[in-house]
Structure 1
């Protein structure tokens, strides 16, 4: 029987998702890909969800592909298959986090290599331990990043830096990752920091948070983005949760929002 590759616990609207193959540094095998895609699908419609924390069990976040287990390929799967909207299965486990309606915070430690870095890049925010090692390492194996990395990094990393790291496959530390844009900030305990941030997000108007993520994901030109801002704001103004945010601030109390 295959052991569970991904675990999820939910408390107070926060889903704590963990890659759970610690004996292999959470390396990606076919079972891990399947479970990550299924987890994203479940979270997309989970009632009461406000934020997600994504991390890895054991000594690292994710060491990338388990080359031995992936060598035989995935039966019935083609890289050309668009089974998740614009994405195939491999791309979905990274791109899918970006498409979820609530913010996703990745907590990185140990290593985030290759496919692991691409999965983390799908999060809205990445918090890394100081000694985390990262790499766009696919060229080490004679391949290119193909788990949505280029689509995700385009808005995070300057083009020439991304090209250099892709062409060389060299490792870099968390401090450089912050400077380059791969990581948001550094924390000694990234998981605790991610949970604290998720709680802060969960305390805001959930409809406004979701609207903000839709705007952040918007890929249109300036005109369509300006129009989208206006539509989102019009829907929020004087809504019950927006009025609750105002009253809670005026009355100096914690807000009580509804989904």
Structure 2
């Protein structure tokens, strides 16, 4: 399947008809750097094409699912855009790069095999984008979720704003997107972000594996057909929303507030936003 690819940020293990994909980092808290964005579509494209695989479990190594985007690793490629007076060329390169990241997340949603995300610990920013692209989410008691982008002066642009409305509803999504607040596992269950909550990481992963095996025991083409039908309306809406937010961020992302967010992150202090 992936014999010719040496994976750095992900591991893949197939048992019977269930594949298990684990985030490995290498950034702290499985932060999502360049290797992750390169490998994610390769892995899910291969799983989609593998007739042996009928369901996928997606989880994180260590205590946390993911801290989200690895800002120190990703920011150098966007540095020119953040300067004063960025013109069309750096904005176009940023848009191309952003679309590549969007397509990486979409590879999870586009996989014809149902994907079950098993979440423990923190699931922040890009982590929420990825689990929103999964079909089903389960979590451990210690799980916490945050659509954190607003805290760093960015409009979330990798799929959370497009996919979560159909999962948790507009009101809950707007609250999370406007505040950037943390949501614990029990509230995540109440609003429908996760299906079930389990006592710890081991129990959560076991439940995800059991659910994947239950799905894999059904006729595979019928399961894939059900997923295709369910995505028939939402898929085009998500794609349109991703195109729109990509254009919006290419136009409006550079700001004094974003520079302040980056500087505050480096200096480990609260940012002071001025709407500039």
TM-score band by shorter chain is 0.7 to 0.9
The alignment partner of 2:49 has SS state of coil
Q: Relative to 1, partners in 2 of residues 1:3 and 1:104: Cα closer, same or farther, differing over 3 Å?
A: closer
If the length of structure 1 is used for normalisation, what is the TM-score?
0.78
- What aligned pairs does 1:112-123 form with structure 2 within 5 A after superposition? 112-123=123-134
Partners in 2 of 1:93 and 1:61 — Cα distance?
17
Partners in 1 of 2:127 and 2:205 — Cα distance?
16
The alignment partner of 2:227 has SS state of helix
Give the length in aligned residue pairs: 215
Structure 1: give runs of 5+ residues left out of the alignment.
221-259
Which of 2, 12, 16 matches 1:12? Answer: 16
Partners in 1 of 2:10 and 2:93 — Cα distance?
23
Deviation readout 1:31-75 (Å, 9 max, x if unpaired): 111111211221121122100000000010011111111110279
The alignment partner of 2:31 has SS state of coil
Give yes or no for the alignment of 1:175 onto 2:182: no
Which of 214, 232, 236 matches 1:218? Answer: 232
Structure richer in helix, relative to its length: 2
Q: Relative to 1, partners in 2 of residues 1:73 and 1:102: Cα closer, same or farther, differing over 3 Å?
A: same
8 A Cα contact 1:157 1:180, kept in partner: yes
Partners in 2 of 1:158 and 1:96 — Cα distance?
23
Deviation readout 1:150-176 (Å, 9 max, x if unpaired): 221121122122111111101010111
Q: Relative to 1, partners in 2 of residues 1:80 and 1:71: Cα closer, same or farther, differing over 3 Å?
A: closer
Partners in 1 of 2:7 and 2:76 — Cα distance?
20
Task: Report the counterpart of residue 86 of structure 2 in structure 1.
Answer: none
Q: CA deviation at 1:9?
A: 0.7
Structure 2: give runs of 5+ residues left out of the alignment.
1-5, 80-89, 235-276
The alignment partner of 1:81 has SS state of helix
Q: CA deviation at 1:219?
A: 0.7
Task: Report the counterpart of residue 48 of structure 2 in structure 1.
Answer: 44
Q: CA deviation at 1:96?
A: 1.7
Which of 167, 183, 204 matches 2:218? Answer: 204
Give yes or no for the alignment of 1:32 onto 2:36: yes
Task: Report the counterpart of residue 139 of structure 1 in structure 2.
Answer: 150
Moved more, 50-59 or 94-103: 94-103
Superposition RMSD on alpha carbons, in Å?
A: 2.2
Moved more, 72-81 or 152-161: 72-81
4+ long deviations beyond 6 Å: 74-77
Partners in 2 of 1:60 and 1:177 — Cα distance?
16
